[in-house]
């Protein structure tokens, strides 16, 4: 740390936010924790920074993110009056919606492959979460001069879809860390040039952009599974931009649905209901029943989170009714991101019941979701649904049932490289601690399996 003149710009922003120094320090620690970093920031450090002491580069980014959340606009360390070293990455990388999403993605992919920590440790931005709600501009067609090389048709579109599907299946079977660099390289070296190629007709171009959007969406999901929430959000934003440019009905709304799910998971409800409702309205009456059920059930979850109990239950019921009324119409490939739509509807319905405090109904829906997916293909998500179901059983005081369900979950975790599954197992050990202390046999035996899985 070096000393400079008192930082009046930072002082003004803190004053505008209305945060006390203690509250701001807590907000900085929270942002850092979301990125897997443990900080000891306190109100004394805030005072030092105001006097001109310069925080470490990563801490400065966490400070900017914390103030951004409270002020409702995107701030960088430079906006806070903090020095930015030469060659430092742009904090806003990927957090805007421009005319060409490929232009935003290429530097992000370069940073990933160079193993830079900047993006992987970036924080979730509440301000950026609102971008799709404000994005009303229709993206102009790319100029003909940019479309060089061979003429692309349906064969190339099918090839990209098949590759993305393969990466998606690999992700579900082995976890988000497996094959990630290969996916980045494939999108950068193969898919990006195809998006800028010449096409047989406009329809082929739309299909290619749609396939690219699905691939970038998967990369966001891989980042999410690795606990890199800020990076996941940036990929979701660019996936959304590609989906908008493709003009494929419902796909842009599906990405908005994903962004709403991420915000709910991170306990950042700002904009979640708006994202879910907008995505739902953009798809209403234009997609098959199974896909429509996916939109409705996430909307139900946002309603539950905002305390609208009755509306949430009604909307969740509508989602299940849509499944029952499904006529077997083909579900678009971008809506199959998490496998069979029915399984996703059951799992999200469980979250609605959990939010509303109905743990019995939630446990039943989690169990239903776990059996609705082929476990060999969807090992990770099946295990996580089982974990969630066990937690509901434990909340009802049914320790033996919970241990049995947890054991089934661990059966599916072998070979899965996922930050979320490891976190689930660690949380399970915490939940079981009091039962181990009482000598409950099933809890002790399960803990031994958990330690073996964690490599402890």
pLDDT on residue 139 = 32
Confidence of residue 106 (pLDDT cuts 50, 70, 90): confident
User: What number is the average pLDDT over the span 358-385?
Assistant: 93
pLDDT on residue 288 = 94
| Token digits of residue 281 | 């309205």
pLDDT on residue 94 = 73
**Residue showing tokens 């904090």:** 91
Higher-confidence residue of 365 and 327: namely: 365
Does 144 score more than 50 pLDDT? no
Does 140 score more than 50 pLDDT? no
- 417 in helix, strand or coil? coil
> Which has the closest alpha carbon to 284: 255, 254, 314, 311?
254
Confidence of residue 88 (pLDDT cuts 50, 70, 90): low
Does 135 score more than 60 pLDDT? no
Confidence of residue 116 (pLDDT cuts 50, 70, 90): low
**What whole-number percentage of the chain has pLDDT above 90?**
53
Distance CA 59, CA 67 (A): 12
- 151 in helix, strand or coil? strand
Does 119 score more than 70 pLDDT? no
> Which has the closest alpha carbon to 345: 298, 313, 389?
298
pLDDT on residue 146 = 35
Average of per-residue pLDDT values in the chain: 86
The DSSP H or E segment spanning 152 is strand 151-152
User: What are the respective helix, strand and coil percentages of the chain, to the nearest 5?
Assistant: 70, 0, 30
Name the H helices within 18-137.
Answer: 21-34, 43-51, 57-71, 101-113, 117-120, 126-129, 131-134
Query: What does the pLDDT look like over 297-319, one tens digit per residue?
Result: 999 999 999 999 999 999 999 99
DSSP result, 193-255: HHHTSEESSHHHHHHHHHHHHHHHHHHHHHHHHTT-HHHHHHHHHHHHHHHHHHT-TTHHHHH
Out of 61-75, 78-92, 159-173, give the one with best mean pLDDT. 159-173
Does 129 score more than 70 pLDDT? no
Burial class (CB in 10 A: 0-12, 13-18, 19+), 93: middle
C-beta separation of 279 from 301 below 8 A:
no
pLDDT on residue 115 = 62
Q: Which residues pair with 152 in a beta bridge?
A: 199
Query: What does the pLDDT look like over 146-178, one tens digit per residue?
Result: 334 457 888 889 989 998 988 888 888 887 777
Does 113 score more than 90 pLDDT? no
User: What number is the average pLDDT over the span 245-252?
Assistant: 93
pLDDT on residue 142 = 33
pLDDT on residue 220 = 93
pLDDT on residue 276 = 94
Does 43 score more than 80 pLDDT? yes
**What whole-number percentage of the chain has pLDDT above 70?**
88
DSSP result, 299-339: HHHHHHHTT-HHHHHHHHHHHHHHHHT---PPPPGGGGTTS
Distance CA 41, CA 38 (A): 9
Query: What does the pLDDT look like over 253-276, one tens digit per residue?
Result: 999 999 999 999 988 888 899 999
> Which has the closest alpha carbon to 197: 182, 184, 211?
211
């Amino acid at each position: 740390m070096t000393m400079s003149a008192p930082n009046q710009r930072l002082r003004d922003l803190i004053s505008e936010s209305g945060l006390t120094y203690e509250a701001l320090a807590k907000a900085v620690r929270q942002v850092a924790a979301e990125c897997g970093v443990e900080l000891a920031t306190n109100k004394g450090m805030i005072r030092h920074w105001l006097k001109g002491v310069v925080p470490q580069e990563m801490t400065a980014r966490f400070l900017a993110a914390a103030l951004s959340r409270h002020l409702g606009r995107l701030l960088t360390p430079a906006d806070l009056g903090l020095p930015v070293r030469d060659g430092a990455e742009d904090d806003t990388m990927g957090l805007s919606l421009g005319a060409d999403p490929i232009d935003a993605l290429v530097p992000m992919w370069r940073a990933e492959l160079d193993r830079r920590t900047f993006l992987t440790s970036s924080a979730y931005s509440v301000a950026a979460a609102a971008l799709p709600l404000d994005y009303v501009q229709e993206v102009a067609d790319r100029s003909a001069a940019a479309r060089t090389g061979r003429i692309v048709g349906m064969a190339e579109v099918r090839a990209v879809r098949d590759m993305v599907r393969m990466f998606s299946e690999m992700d579900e079977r082995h976890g988000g860390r497996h094959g990630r660099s290969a996916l980045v390289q494939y999108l950068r070296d193969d898919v990006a040039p195809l998006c800028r190629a010449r096409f047989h007709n406009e329809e082929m171009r739309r299909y290619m952009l749609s396939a690219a959007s699905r691939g970038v969406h998967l990369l966001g999901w891989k980042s999410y599974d690795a606990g890199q929430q800020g990076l996941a959000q940036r990929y979701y934003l660019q996936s959304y931009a590609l989906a908008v440019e493709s003009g494929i009905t419902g796909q842009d709304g599906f990405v908005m649905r994903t962004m709403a799910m991420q915000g709910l998971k991170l306990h950042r409800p700002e904009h979640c209901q708006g994202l879910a409702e907008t995505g739902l309205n953009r798809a209403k009456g234009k997609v098959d029943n199974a896909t429509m059920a996916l939109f409705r059930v996430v909307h139900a979850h946002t309603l539950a989170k905002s305390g609208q109990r009755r509306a949430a239950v009604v909307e969740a019921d509508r989602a299940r009714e849509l499944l029952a009324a499904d006529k077997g119409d083909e579900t678009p490939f971008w809506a199959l991101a998490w496998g069979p739509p029915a399984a996703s509807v059951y799992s999200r319905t469980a979250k609605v019941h959990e939010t509303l405090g109905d743990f019995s109904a939630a446990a039943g829906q989690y169990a239903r979701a776990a059996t609705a997916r082929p476990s060999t293909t969807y090992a990770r998500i099946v295990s996580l649904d089982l974990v969630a179901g066990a937690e509901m059983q434990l909340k009802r005081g049914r320790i033996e049932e919970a241990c049995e369900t947890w054991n089934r979950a661990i059966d599916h975790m072998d070979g899965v490289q996922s930050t979320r599954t490891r976190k689930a197992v660690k949380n399970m050990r915490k939940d079981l601690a009091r039962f181990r202390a009482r000598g409950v046999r099933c809890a002790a035996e399960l803990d031994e399996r958990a330690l073996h899985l964690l490599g402890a």
